[in-house]
Structure formats: C-alpha cells, structure tokens
Structure 1
Amino acid sequence: MEIIMSRLVLKDNIRTSAACKSRLDAGVFVRVVEKHPWLFYMSKRGHSLKLVDPLKWKSYTLELPEIAKSSTVCFSRDGWLLMHRSITKDFFFFNPFSRELISMPKFELPYNEIAFSYPPKSDNCVVVALNFNVQHQVTISTCYPGATGWISSVSPANYQQFYMKTKIVYHNDRFYCFNVGIESLFSFHPSSRTWKSYPLANVDPTLTQDWYKKEFFFGRDERRALSHMSPSEFDGLTFFVSFYNSELRTNLPWLRNNVCFSRFGYNRRHVSYSFDQSRYNPSMEWNNELELCPPQSLWIDPPNNVLDYF
C-alpha cells in the first residue's frame, strides 16, 4: 500500500487516504518520504548532460556552457558538481540547473580521490583531495571557494598505509577514509589539519552504524561488502552508489534495504541489490565496480522544480 500511495501526486494521495484507515496510514507515511536522487551522464564528448529519473524511467538533456564542456565530473553533493579541466589543471563548481559556476584555484598535484563538505556557497565549504604515491605516502590537499591556492601536506607516517581505492566521506566536521589493510578508519579535520585513527574493534557505535556496515562507501569490492551484510543491518536504508559519489536515503518505502548502482540494465531499469531478496535486480551476474558503476555517471539531488529547467 505504501508503494502504491507513494506514486500518487499529493492531490490523489489525499483523496485515496479518505477511503479507509489503512490507506490513511500509508498515505500519511509516504507524504514525508525523501526525494530520491537522479542519475546523470556526461556525453562522450562532454557537450551535454543527460539526467535520468530512475523511478519513472524518464530522461532529460541539458546543454553545458562552453566552460564546462570536455570537463571531468569528480564529485556531487546537494545538486552541485565539482568538475576538473585536465588541460588547465583547475577545478570549478557547477550547478547544472541554475547554471551557476564558481571557480577554484589551479591544482597541479595529481589526485586519486576528492570530495567537498558543503555546497560552495556555504561558509563551511572545503574541498579535500588525496594523492597516493608508490611509497604509500598520502598527500592531503585542501581548498575552499575564494581561496588563492591549495594547502598540501604529507600525512603522518602512521596514517600513510591507506588502501589505494579508499573513498573520502564528510561527516560531522571531519573527512573519513577507510584502510582495508589494517581495518581502521582515519579522519582528517580540515581546519586544524589534525588526524585521528579509529580501530574498528574500538569504533564508537554511532560511527559503526554509519560507516563500517556500509563498507562500499570506501571503495571496497561491492560483492564482498554485500555478502557480509543482512537486511536487519540495513535498517530500511537505501544507498545510491556511483563511481564518484554515494547518496543515502532513510525513508524510501519502495526501495528499503536496497543498494542502487549507477548502471542501467537491459530493461532500462537501474541495477540494484536487494537485501530482502539477496539478489541483484535485474537478476544477472555483475563482475566488477566498473560494470556496476560506470565512469562519468553519478547521483545528483535535483531541485524541487527540476522540470522547469528542461
């Protein structure tokens, strides 16, 4: 009933809710569901942006401004894209809906992972980039909109054994990284540039719930992560995972206990893994991260009036 009611517009939801108590309960519950993210794909030549509503299977196209053409998308958060121009070696924020663009200083150092904390118009916005070298040293660089340059430093020796595919995720004023080799979480506080280590055996329960159970946030092999989790661990959560970013939703009745990847199957539906059913949908074999999360595709939060931009 929740699934049916969730697909009705508000006007029809209210009308249907008047039929009986069970419909009323379901209707009221889904009226406060979260918005699901949309998928977007860059065209091969980087001239346009294709956005897909994964639940309605509808796609839309946006033409990119000249400055954003042939750029690489690195990260997405709250409707903003962090993009990179390899030729000029600079980053910039771009909002594909409002067409706003915010420049960042040039960044000469190669990067392996990058993320930002808040939308670029926020006073608390900071960008963090990680670079791993062959000696397992980690250089961490930070910057913020309006800065004149990046600040870079090599991490302390006891924090250098990062797994090369680690992801960085922002949570409560700190950026977190996961180390597969020694099963630890590392955190970095950008303002003080201080580090902390969290052995998983001693991790705070709230951190355990938000991080360790959801290992694929940190770039670990998805198949291994999924096989170690159960529906009860997921607590009804829904993850939207891509090559560049991940989105979490706590109240999507029709997708509880699911991981939705940025790959579309042959039936035009996105590929997902259901913990309740313990299988992929559509039911076929997916072998690696690139198949499940192809590059140049990621999840983005559309504005409430998203259709006004097409």
Structure 2
Amino acid sequence: MVYTRSMMKQKKSAEAKTNNQTWLNLPFDLTLLIMQRMSLKDNIRASVVCKTWHKASVSVRVEDPTPWAMFIPIYKDQYQLYDPSRGKTHIVKFPKIGGLEICYSRDGWLLMHEERSFKDYLFFNPFTHERIEVAWPRMWFISDAIAFSCAPTSSSCVLVSVSDISKTFICIKTYRPTTKKWTTLTLPNQLPLTHKGFRHIVFSNGVFYCLTKIGCLGMFDLYTNSWNVLLEPPPKFFEISDDQCFMTEYQGDVYLVYSHGPNRKPTFLKLDLTNRKWTVKRRLPGLTFYLGFQSAVTTNRDFVDTQRLNVRSLSNVWIKPPINVSNLFKS
C-alpha cells in the first residue's frame, strides 16, 4: 500500500489526537458508568475535577431517605413521628404500645419489651403498626446486649442476645423470626470482668459490634459463629459521658461520634479493622449522623436537623421511614 503525503499527515494527526486523550475526554455515558461504581467518598472527590465530572457524579448520587424521630410520651398510648425534612410532626394513637420500651431500631422496625419485664420482646413497625412476637424461651436471663440484623420480615433477619458473661465463657443466643428457632452458643470470653456491661451495639456487614462501658469492643461474626474482642479503648473514651457517645455504621464502616454539646464540633472515630484500632477523623464529607440512645442512623445526606439532634431522652429514637411513607401520612 502506498501512502501519500496527505495520508501521512492524517495518520500523524489521528495518532497525536489519540495520545493526547485524557480521562476528561471520556464519553459522558462511560463517565456515568464509572461514577455509578464509585463509593460516596470517591464520588464526592470526583465531582470537583471538572464540570463534566460534577454533572455525572451528582446525577448518579442517590441520597438516603431522611430518618424520622420517634417520641413516646410517658403514660400515654400514643407516639409522635417527626419528619425533619418537612418539619412536620404526626401524632399516632396506638394503645397496644402502652408500657413498652424501645431497646433497638433498624430498617424501620423497633425491638421493644415490656417496661417491667426483659423477657417479653416484640418487633414493632411504627409506620404500618405491624407487630411480630418473639418466641422467648421459658428459662431465660437478662440480656446484656440485644439487636437484630435487618427487618424481621426478611428471611435473613437474625436477633442476637449477648448475656451470662463469666470469667471464661460468654453466652450468645440467636433467633430467626421466620423460623422462630433459638440457637445457643457458649464461646470463650475475652472481655475483662470489669467490662461493666455494654453501652452500644450495631450490626454491620455480618458482624454485631458490642461496645462496653470501658471501651472494649466485642465482635460476634454471624457467618463463623465466632466472638473476638478489641481490648484497646477508643481515644479519649473516658473523657466522654454515656449520653455523649454514639456508635453507628454506614456501608460496612463502623463509627463512634462524641457529641460535645450544641456549640462544639463533634469528634468522629472510625474503626480500623486491619490495624485493630479506632482512628480519629477530622471530616467525614457527605455523611450525616442522627444520634439517639437506642439507635444512631447514618445517611449520605447533607441535611442536619440541629434542633432535634440535641434532644436527649431514653424514649426517643431515629428510624428509617419506608419508601411509601408519603402515602401513609397524607395529611
């Protein structure tokens, strides 16, 4: 084949154009596919590169729904659901929750028990009023920590109770609402006898994380039925009171939040499982923490309701609303 001078120039021009291509020259559809596979943190970083990347990253970024706050007045057969995104409170009259206390919340469901009994547990959905009784064993003892992995209507839901901690062993019971069967595990205990009970418990990526009042972290793995302990307490843990420390999770990461009051910035800590320690984070861009004693919910929204975040009550809890919540509360 014979190349003319004009053909050679065209070839060199095409080669130069190819060599000068960068990530900024990607087709927009391909850029969208890349942004969809990024984590929220990487998505936010990519959005500041250029206008094209900003448009692509924002268009694929899905915000989590804003959690609602639930308030149960004492001695009243009703409760309040507060929607912070609209600043609206819904009063719900439901006598069947009278005398019940909240002990855990996840995926729009509450785990509750009788006020004077730690044996009569049930799941309750405050948006749909659904109740699911827990088939509690006759011979039982008070749980030091109790939580569940996901909505009790799911076949993968597991309720976990940690109790009967001795010098050498710890008793962990698991319960599946769909089969109503309990399983008892007696595992070697690595917690010190002075652990003083648990302060918080969260479920993340197949593991229940149980934080004790002296900063030790017990970890129960559902898949391996193993119990491991991180003995080193988080930084400045003993400088924070019980009502200023909150544990939460988001997409596989576990966090601690120290709330220092309305006029001071909170302290964020992230669990580093690789190095088995807590690390202090100055900023966590894109994440919002809704703090409560029974549950702390983390979302990727920029909205923060400071008025309700400062509420301190043992009967208050943050809870994720269902997708069709607007149909349930039309008024």
Q: For this structure pair, what is the TM-score category when the shorter chain's length is used for normalisation?
A: 0.5 to 0.7
Q: CA deviation at 1:102?
A: 1.4
The aligned residue for residue 75 of structure 1 is 104
The aligned residue for residue 223 of structure 1 is 260
- Residue 298 of structure 1: which of 301, 317, 324 is its match? 317
Q: CA deviation at 1:227?
A: 4.5
Structure 1 Cα separation of the partners of residues 142 and 303 of structure 2: 41
Structure 1 Cα separation of the partners of residues 302 and 59 of structure 2: 9
The CA deviation string for residues 172-214 of structure 1, in whole angstroms up to 9 with x for no partner, is 1111123564x6543112354311234669xxxx99x923xx3
Mind listing any 5+ residue stretches in structure 1 that lack a counterpart?
1-20, 262-268, 273-291
Structure 2 Cα separation of the partners of residues 47 and 133 of structure 1: 36
Structure 1 Cα separation of the partners of residues 196 and 259 of structure 2: 15
Q: CA deviation at 1:152?
A: 4.1
The aligned residue for residue 282 of structure 1 is none
The aligned residue for residue 253 of structure 2 is 210
The aligned residue for residue 178 of structure 1 is 211
TM-score for both structures, normalised by structure 2: 0.61
CA gap 1:155/1:105 in 2 versus in 1, 3 angstroms: same
The aligned residue for residue 116 of structure 1 is 148
Question: SS of the counterpart of 2:218?
Answer: strand
Contact persistence 2:147–2:161 (CA under 8 A)? yes
CA gap 1:189/1:88 in 2 versus in 1, 3 angstroms: closer
Q: CA deviation at 1:45?
A: 1.9
CA gap 1:223/1:120 in 2 versus in 1, 3 angstroms: same
Contact persistence 1:95–1:101 (CA under 8 A)? yes
Does 2:302 correspond to 1:253? yes
The aligned residue for residue 266 of structure 1 is none
Contact persistence 2:121–2:133 (CA under 8 A)? yes
Q: After superposition, where does 1:145-164 map in structure 2 within 5 Å?
A: 145-148=177-180, 150-161=182-193, 162=195, 164=197
Amino acid of the residue matched to residue 206 of structure 2?
D
Q: After superposition, where does 1:1-310 map in structure 2 within 5 Å?
A: 32-64=62-94, 66=96, 68-85=97-114, 86-87=116-117, 89-106=119-136, 108-131=140-163, 138-148=170-180, 150-161=182-193, 162=195, 164-179=197-212, 181=214, 185-190=217-222, 192-198=224-230, 210-211=253-254, 214-216=255-257, 222-223=259-260, 226-227=266-267, 232-250=282-300, 252-255=301-304, 269-271=307-309, 292-310=311-329
Q: CA deviation at 1:296?
A: 0.9
Structure 2 Cα separation of the partners of residues 65 and 136 of structure 1: 44
Structure 2 Cα separation of the partners of residues 244 and 128 of structure 1: 15
CA gap 1:195/1:271 in 2 versus in 1, 3 angstroms: closer
Identity value in percent: 28
Structure 2 Cα separation of the partners of residues 234 and 84 of structure 1: 35
Amino acid of the residue matched to residue 306 of structure 1?
V
Aligned length: 245
Contact persistence 1:46–1:71 (CA under 8 A)? no
Amino acid of the residue matched to residue 253 of structure 2?
D
TM-score for both structures, normalised by structure 1: 0.65
Q: CA deviation at 1:125?
A: 0.6
Structure 2 Cα separation of the partners of residues 145 and 179 of structure 1: 27
Mind listing any 5+ residue stretches in structure 2 that lack a counterpart?
1-50, 234-248, 270-279
Q: Which has the larger radius of gyration?
A: 2
User: Aligned-residue CA RMSD in angstroms?
Assistant: 3.9
Question: SS of the counterpart of 1:215?
Answer: strand
Q: CA deviation at 1:155?
A: 4.5
Q: Which is worse superposed, 28-37 or 106-115?
A: 28-37
Structure 1 Cα separation of the partners of residues 166 and 111 of structure 2: 26
Question: SS of the counterpart of 2:283?
Answer: helix
